[in-house]
Amino acid sequence: MKVTIAHNNYDKTLKTVAYLKKLLEEKDVIFDAKYPDVVISVGGDGTLINAFHRYENQVDSVRFVGIHTGHLGFYTDWRNYDVDKMVDALLLTDGEVAKYPLLEIKTLTESGETRYHLAVNESAVKRVSHTLEADVYINDELFENFRGDGLCVSTPTGSTAYSKSLGGAVIHPRLKALQMTEIASINNRVFRTLSAPIVIAPDQWITIVPNADHFVMTVDGARIDVRNAKKIEYRISHHSIKFDRFGHHHFWSRVQDAFIGDSKND
């Protein structure tokens, strides 16, 4: 087993990383930052998502383990005081994993160039100083003419992130559905949109055709300035992100813990 550790630089995290490295060295675990079998993320959800993008070209052969040292850890199963248990579980695991669907983003430029991105949570299309005008297609059929601040397309696990703050539904990842939510849409006698989140099946896709030669696209919060894009296509990827199932919590338990808390304490 080859392992690497991704982490932020907060004091609590660095102490946890030092202890974790000591335990792994005692177990004669091989450290390999280039081609790991397991990526251990120490920090919060942002740290784990950054680690995913660092190794997204190896996503089919890598699994992730998250240790939580921050304020909210939806993807991070272990707490910093559970490091000993996590290491034992890691070495005893039979390789069983929990898989979450990823979002595939394909951008086609006016020159015919195609660019691909993967997202764990979501991708959004926005304009900075003007409203976004775009045609929205589902399965290549025109669905609506949008005008507003932007559009967000999310994975089921991403439904608990930015999409939720936009009024989207929380979706179980086994559904492998895409969800599109509007960002401050304009609805009047001239411009009309559904003005509600939509959820589409895993074999369907969403295409956004922006009526602008310059806009901003985000992928898991990272900003990409896009120019001369003809269209952006979103669909569920045939790749998935894999987590070590040992210690991986039930999805709805994670949702409850992240947003509601322990009802027994009420």
The pair of three-digit structure tokens given for residue 221, joined into one six-digit string:
């919060």
The whole-angstrom separation of Cα 88 and Cα 164 is 35
- 37 annotated to bind ligand: no
The whole-angstrom separation of Cα 177 and Cα 237 is 11
- 245 annotated to bind ligand: no
- 35 annotated to bind ligand: no
- 182 annotated to bind ligand: no
- 79 annotated to bind ligand: no
- 192 annotated to bind ligand: no
- 165 annotated to bind ligand: yes
Among 166, 163, 195, 194, smallest CA distance to 178 is for 163
- 112 annotated to bind ligand: no
CB 40 within 8 A of CB 65: yes
One-character DSSP codes across 174-235? GG--EEEEEEEE--SSS-----S-EEE-TT--EEEEESSSEEEEEETTEEEEEESEEEEEEE
225 is catalytic: no
| The one catalytic residue among 11, 28, 37, 45 | 45
Bridge partners (DSSP) of residue 92 are none
Give the list of residues 6+ apart from residue 176 with CB closer than 8 angstroms, or none: 101, 156, 202, 236
The pair of three-digit structure tokens given for residue 142, joined into one six-digit string:
């025109």
- 160 annotated to bind ligand: yes
Neighbour-count burial for 98-137, b at 16+ CB within 10 Å, e otherwise? bebbbbbbebbeeeeeeeebbbbbbbbbbbeeebbbbebb
- 157 annotated to bind ligand: no
The whole-angstrom separation of Cα 46 and Cα 222 is 11
- 147 annotated to bind ligand: yes
- 149 annotated to bind ligand: yes
CB 254 within 8 A of CB 98: no
- 124 annotated to bind ligand: no
Binding residues: 45-46, 121-122, 147, 149, 160-165, 184
Binding residues for NAD(+): 45-46, 121-122, 147, 149, 160-165, 184
Catalytically annotated residues: 45
